[in-house]
Amino acid sequence: MSLIELPDLKSSSGALLGIDPGSKTFGLALSDITRLIASPLTTIRRKKFTPDAAQIFAHYDEHQCSAMIIGYPLNMDGSESGRCQSVRDFTTNLMAIRDVPIFLWDERLSTAAVTRTLLEADVSRARRAEVVDKLAASYILQGVLDRLRV
């Protein structure tokens, strides 16, 4: 399997696993099987690739997911950021371990939007740090779910 396009994603069914890859953590989110709602799932503290990938695939299998949606950090002008290559390498390494469909989704401002919402809700700094990554993954995944319905 390789990176898939939106039409490929539309033609499949089942839950989707959303991933917000950060330098220190991975935020994970999950869609329902009807692909209407994304919900925050968990945050994985990055250690080494192999155990991190094992945790990601464990969630993928547990929830019988049919594809992964990975946040792709484009610059504001739409060009690729320095982090894009890191995400591409991560994606390539995941696909080398296991043949799963992966869709990259523009994640510009996802963390900023989630952080702004948490600030408006007067969530403490410590609590924001605990939840921001999985909420960003949910925000990214919900964007894809909304686009699939168009």
What the chain holds in terms of domains, given with CATH numbers, is 6-148 (3.30.420.140)
| Token pair of 105 as six digits | 């989704």
| DSSP for 2-42, written as a single string | -B--HHHHHT--SEEEEEEE-SSEEEEEEE-TTS--EEEEE
Q: First-to-last CA distance in the chain?
A: 25
Q: Is the pLDDT of residue 60 over 90?
A: yes
pLDDT digits 0-9 by tens, 84-103 = 999 999 999 999 999 999 99
pLDDT (0 to 100) of residue 130: 66
pLDDT digits 0-9 by tens, 13-58 = 999 999 999 889 999 999 999 999 999 999 999 999 999 999 999 9
| Token pair of 45 as six digits | 């503290």
Amino acid in the structure at residue 134: K
pLDDT (0 to 100) of residue 138: 95
